[in-house]
Structure 1
């Protein structure tokens, strides 16, 4: 199963979008049409890379737009770039989401006591390769961190790309602690402090910021898949979420290829990129 991307608009502007196509060239939604499983029997999942490692632009699946292209998040009318909080530069993993999952904002998690954040479940790929924006990778789940972001449960699933040369050495979260010493501690530090330069308080975590193991993480991913199933079948209220898809045939939101093409055509044609603001390279020292 292969996928390609099509860029629209000018990169580094509010109009920029990244749409997805399947192997037949048909437009699809990365939220709804890409299967959650790459290999269900072995619990290998697909993941959509939204933000390549070391970059700052906060790209995300546009859950409220037709076909859910990638777009850059906005804050106070400006494009959002994640600050470099010393000693970190941009995102310290390939960051993205697992398709066909949804953290239901109407469901209070029994472990965290908080409701979901209304997005697909997030992944942090710890592999050696720096992926590209919109790349679809196959990942092995190793564990998860329960971030509480402004009162919402926001799971961060730690994964490794199955094509990584070291993937065979990683089976659980303790393998990360053993083979990549300091990476888990850096991950907690990153999520705790990444909003501090924006004037917000440090983020909090469930489980005293301890990582849960592989089995717990896989169960969490699968539970968000069940929430997504209810969403795509209109058995739960998705609010402003756009569930337009081109392949979930029994979904009431399934549309024809022509409608998908029309959704893409309604956006701006691809054009030259705008420069990234020089302030994006600034380093912040929040303990100063």
Structure 2
């Protein structure tokens, strides 16, 4: 399945939006209509489900994926990946799984099949990843994030189990068998979902965003540097 994007408003502005289309040019939801596997759809970290591994509920958004490869993707690009492992971040009292993957089209993809391959072929990469996730909110005045398993990365099989679990929560969400709160479950393709909308309604949503214009100047504070000193 090939996907394309439609850009709206001015890049670098708060109004800027990306809208996704399928191979037929019809609008879709990137959350609900792009499949996890060839015949299935996405995942969701349910805040009301207390994870047996972390003791915390999910963070109420799609599961996060961290691509360790060197191939740079375009904004809105949909790629196939190999699952390698996972890290369980505890972000302000919520479970926020980070699935470690590599793009199957990355030049080095054949060398990576599990989390230990990352440790072996990219020395200190995993340790640096934990350090970044621990401190990245500190410049906003927030405390350091914590981790389940003392910051230990779990292997591929563990990560796949997490994906399957969150995928089951997503299925319940989009078929209205679970309360998603403020999450918008509108989609165009999911069978048995009461939230399916017609293409005309999807087009109306897209047309509420301004037409694409020239990129806005990048704010100077984007390039502001912060230095973190451990006590």
> Which TM-score tier does this pair reach, normalised by the shorter chain?
over 0.9
Q: How many residues align?
A: 230
Deviation at 1:220, TM superposition (A): 0.0
* Contact persistence 2:44–2:62 (CA under 8 A): yes
Look up the SS of the partner of 2:126 in the other structure.
helix
Q: Distance in 2 between matches of 1:244 and 1:281?
A: 36
Structure 1 gap segments, 5+ residues each? 41-98
What's the CA shift string for 1:152-187, capped at 9, x where partnerless?
000000000011121111110000011111211110
2:52 aligned residue:
110
Contact 2:89 2:147 in 1 (8 A): yes
Q: TM-score, length-normalised on structure 1?
A: 0.78
Shift, 1:113, TM fit: 0.3
Secondary structure of the residue that 2:100 maps to in structure 1?
Answer: strand
TM, length-normalised to structure 2: 0.96
Partner of 1:162: 104
SS at match of 2:98: strand
What secondary structure is seen at the aligned counterpart in 1 of 2:142?
coil
Query: What's the secondary structure of 2:32's corresponding residue?
Result: coil
**Aligned: 1:239 with 2:158:** no
- For 2:141 and 2:118, the matched residues in 1 are separated by 32
Q: Is the 8 A contact 1:38 1:138 kept in 2?
A: no
Query: For 2:80, what is the secondary structure of its paired residue?
Result: strand
Structure 2 residue runs of 5 or longer lacking an equivalent are none
Residue 245 of structure 1: how far off its partner (Å) = 0.6
Deviates more, 1:99-108 or 1:136-145: 99-108
CA distance in 1, matches of 2:12, 2:47: 30
Residues 1:8 and 2:8 aligned together: yes
Shift of 1:279: 2.2
Query: What do residues 107-139 of structure 1 show as CA deviations (whole Å, max 9, x unaligned)?
Result: 000110000000000000011111111110101
| Equivalent runs, 1:28-47 vs 2, <5 Å | 28-38=28-38
Preserved contact between residue 196 and residue 202 of structure 1 (Cα < 8 Å): yes
The equivalent position to 2:156 in structure 1, one of 214, 221, 226, is 214
Aligned with 2:88 (options 139, 146, 153):
146
Q: Work out the CA distance in 2 between the residues paired with 1:275 and 1:189.
A: 32
**Deviation string for 1:233-271 (max 9, x for gaps)?**
000111111111111132111111111111101111111
- Cα-to-partner distance string for 1:200-248 (whole Å, 9 max, x where unaligned): 1111100000000100000001110000000010001111111111111
Q: Secondary structure at the match of 2:178?
A: coil
Residue 200 of structure 2 corresponds to which residue in structure 1?
258
SS in 2 for 1:284: coil
CA offset at residue 39 of structure 1? 8.3
Where in structure 2 are the equivalents of 1:195-210 lying within 5 Å? 195-210=137-152
- Would you say 1:123 and 2:65 are equivalent positions? yes
RMSD: 1.3
Q: Which structure features the higher share of strand residues?
A: 1
Task: Give the whole-Å Cα distance in 1 for the aligned partners of 2:86 and 2:14.
Answer: 32
Whether contact under 8 Å (2:7, 2:18) holds in the other structure is yes
User: How far 1:282 sits from its partner (Å)?
Assistant: 2.4
Task: Look up the match of 1:92.
Answer: none
